[in-house]
Amino acid sequence: MVACHEIEQAMLSGGSYRVVAQRCAVSRDAIVRHQRHLPAVLARAQEVKEVAHGDSLLAQLRDLTSEAQRLKAIAEEAGDYRAALAAVRELCRIVELMAKLSGELDSHSETKILNVTLDPETAQRISKTFLARHQSPVEIT
């Protein structure tokens, strides 16, 4: 008995119903009936292909994560903190990308700007309070 996927392959390769029926040892009517189910089979195949592609992308992200961690360790061992920090930044970017892809992080962030006008005395009082709280050595007069 011929498997369905063999018939599907023969049909997708462009063979006529008659040729496919002869090659697969089934009736021409069976090929015509099978043709009706082919779009659903192709849709499932596309879904599988997309999942495989997604798995491939995740594997690439895992590889990049490992590589960034390896380079970070080498840089730290060598005392090259600038390179180590660059590796940390790349790891942060990878984590951010993975969070966006998984839906854990909203990629459509909003920035809201509020403009406030203050009189000079209020601005100086706010500045003094801020600097006092942050123990700044700068003195405002």
Q: Give the pLDDT of residue 127.
A: 86
d(CA 120, CA 127): 10
Contact by Cβ (8 Å): 140, 128: yes
pLDDT in tens, 58-77: 788 888 899 999 999 999 99
d(CA 55, CA 19): 38
Q: Give the pLDDT of residue 18.
A: 84
pLDDT in tens, 20-60: 888 888 888 887 777 777 777 666 776 777 777 667 777 88
pLDDT band at 89 (very low <50, low <70, confident <90, very high): very high
Q: What is the full DSSP assignment across 56-74?
A: HHHHHHHHHHHHHHHHHHH
Mean pLDDT of 10-14: 70
Neighbours of 87 (CB within 10 A): 20
